[in-house]
Chain A
Amino acid sequence: MTSESTLFSNRWLPVLLVAPFMLLIILFFYVPIFQAFYWSFFLEQPFGGGSMFVGLDNFARVLSDREFWQAGGRTLVFMVTASSLAVLIPLILAVAADRKIRLSLPARNVLVWPKGVAGASIGVVFAFVFNPFVGILAPLNKAFPGIWAPGIDGTDAFITLIAAHVWSGIPFNFVILLAGLQSIPRTMQQAAAMDGAGPWRRIFDVQLPLIMPQLFLTLVLEFTESVTSAFALIDTITHGGPGGATTLLVYKIYKDGFSGYDLSGAATQTAILMVFVILLTAAQFVFLGRRINYER
């Protein structure tokens, strides 16, 4: 779009058009990000008690804290398990819904519903459904006492979190993957069928390779999503417990900052988490993105 006649040449009007939005973004996106990094080099007193430059002390303190590494490790475990399930399950559903069968229309409708249920709302619901005393597994608990105890057993609490996360992640991933499947030209399927590929084989040799861009995209977004969106679920279902078994980094930062008033520590962890998310996204684009063929 560089030719003379396809663009307006006003000078100040575009500035005026972008300015309000840019101002908001600078104020509520770039300034907070800058401040997180800035604060990680200062010792901040809560309630505006002044600050003191401490160099890398905050990082030394955070990195030598066992709880930080534990929360980081849990974040990683949650990220890998929850997001691979949150892509795999919608993928299977999308492949099924792409077929012309009677159920595929109602399924396409129903599978979008979780988009309207807040993470915290579904957290409240799952806290009830998986409640060990009155929930769905309570009869099992009566038969085998202690087999399901998310209030005591960290693994059980973790499983509840993952089930809730996958539940609320279905709409977006399902819609994207289904759109990818539907944009595969029918002639490709027909050609593969002519060559003798059965319907099962075509799923793996035609459909999956052709929706790699969509799969890649959902995976990239899901990784970031799982790092951050877990907060609402943790705060409603497990409160980080039992014994810190579900305290992921976002939850720890919130607790340190808003309950512990350790602003420097929280800011330092925020800075580390941001760098991690940015590196992760970049790495996915470099290592995975390059190997994907976007041509059809």
Chain B
Amino acid sequence: MIENARSLNIAASVILLAGMLYILGPLYLTLATASQSYEFLLRNGLAWYPGDQFFNNAARIFTETRIPIQMLNSLAVAFSLAIATCILSFLSAYAIVYFRIRWAGVAFALILATIMLPVDIRVITTYQVASNVFSPVNALLDVTGLNGLIAKAFGAPVQLELSVLNTHFGLIAPLVAHGTGTFLFRQFFLTLPKDLFKAARMDGAGPVRFMFDILLPLSRTSFAALFVLTFLSGWTQYLWPLVASSTPDMQTAVVGLARLLPDSDGEVPDFPMIMAGAVIVSLVPLLMIALLQRYLVQGLVLSEK
């Protein structure tokens, strides 16, 4: 189709330019300031051009703050979150789509509902549950009166206690309880031809064999997309890691970075060092986006359908 749409193309170019400036501007200023000294900041304010102090500032992040250890925490949290989400979502979607079970619809609805209320909203009570993961069991024993019987028979009621706060498991588990992955795999399974299933059965494949030899290899792209998506979301979480970790060595890098900002508006904070921290903390996820962008975009589009 040949058509003269010059005015529109020019307008579109200007818009895209402005959009990229909006995204890149703050990132550039971060990088430029991270490479200047504190004295430079006090004298000139925000740096418009890069200097030569970046490695100096970065070295101070590595020696004076807990961010190196916190980066390892972030890596552990994001990686295990992504792996756990991939495996559990795959298994549950497999059960929901490929088995004749009456409760499939209910299970799927229960899983899907988790998308509506993210952990940031239910943080107060999620914290309470994490402080004793057996509290529901205790409550159940109390309510059913079983504990009364046990108390009569053994002298004391059952009160189990196990806190997962300030552990890696506690940091990850509430974030795994999210339905996007199951949704994504279910959508993918439904697009696969039914003949595939019939052929596999005719060849004598049972449920386990079908899952490992046919479904798993076919789902490679979905796995990659979901992995990238959840890894990024794990790395960028803030509120839950903030409350679930009580020692600096257990916090994630993003939380540690935010702690570098002073709480009060007193003197000008050491922004060059903090910005160097922001660069270091964002490096891993940005690198991931640069390398695996195809999967990220795919994941975003798939999680919507």
Contacts and interface: CB of A to CB of B under 8 A. Distances in A.
A6 B23 CA distance: 48
Interface residues of A, number: 108
- In the A-B complex, the 4 residue pairs with the smallest Cβ-Cβ separation, listed nearest first, are A116-B285, A118-B236, A96-B12, A14-B95
A121 B26 contact: no
12 contacts: A5-B198, A7-B99, A21-B111, A28-B176, A35-B128, A39-B125, A125-B29, A186-B1, A200-B8, A232-B238, A250-B121, A253-B124
Interface string A1-14: 10001111110011
B275 A175 contact: no
Contacts of A190: 1
Contact of A267 (B13, B111, B125, B173): B125
- The secondary structure that dominates the A interface is helix
Q: How large is the interface on B (under 10, 10 to 19, 20 to 34, 35 or more residues)?
A: 35 or more
B262 to A, nearest CB: 10
Interface of B: 1, 3, 5, 7-9, 11-13, 15-17, 19-20, 22-24, 26-27, 29-30, 33, 41-42, 45-46, 88-89, 91-92, 94-101, 107, 110-111, 113-114, 116-118, 120-130, 133, 136, 173-174, 176-177, 179, 182, 194, 197-198, 201, 206-207, 210, 232, 235-239, 242-243, 254-255, 257-258, 260-261, 263, 265, 268, 271, 274-275, 278, 281-282, 285-286, 288-289, 293, 296-297, 300-301, 304
B108 to A, nearest CB: 10
Interface in A124-178: 124-129, 131, 133-136, 138-139, 151, 167, 170-172, 175-176
Given A138-B46, A171-B300, A250-B120, A107 B257 contact: no
B9 A101 contact: yes
Contacts of A30: 110
A145 to B, nearest CB: 15
A113 B27 contact: yes
A229 interface: yes
B238 A22 contact: no
A211 to B, nearest CB: 12
Contacts of A126: 26
Given A18-B107, A138-B45, A199 B301 contact: no
Contacts of B174: 28-29
Nearest to A30: B110
A134 B41 contact: yes
A95 B129 CA distance: 46
Nearest to B9: A101
B88 A14 contact: no
A27 B136 contact: yes
Contacts of A20: 88, 91
A270 B289 contact: no
A208 interface: no
A43 to B, nearest CB: 15
Given A120-B238, A151-B265, A28 B99 contact: no
Contact of A115 (B268, B281, B289): B289
B125 A113 contact: no
Contacts of B3: 193, 199
A18 B239 contact: no
Contacts of B97: 1
Contacts of B122: 29, 32-33, 36, 270, 274
A8 B101 CA distance: 9
B15 A96 contact: yes
Contact of B232 (A116, A123, A170): A116
A25 B110 contact: yes
A21 B91 contact: yes
A258 interface: yes
Given A28-B174, A116-B286, A235 B124 contact: no
A110 B12 contact: no
B125 A6 contact: no
Contact of B271 (A97, A116, A117, A134): A134
B92 A21 contact: yes
Interface in A262-293: 263, 266-267, 270, 273-274, 277-278, 281
A33 B133 CA distance: 15
A217 interface: yes
Contact of B194 (A6, A123, A133): A6
A257 B122 CA distance: 11
Which of B46, B114, B288 neighbours the largest number of chain A CB atoms within 10 Å of its CB? Answer: B46
Nearest to A122: B26
A68 interface: no
A31 interface: yes
B121 A114 contact: no
Contact of B285 (A28, A117, A120, A281): A117
Interface in A10-52: 10, 13-15, 17-18, 20-22, 24-25, 27-33, 35-36, 39
Contacts of B210: 8
A111 interface: yes
A16 to B, nearest CB: 8
A179 B298 CA distance: 10
A185 interface: no
A40 to B, nearest CB: 10
Contacts of B243: 254, 258
Given A118-B282, A231-B239, A32 B91 contact: no
A136 to B, nearest CB: 6
Given A25-B111, A103-B17, A104-B16, A117 B286 contact: yes
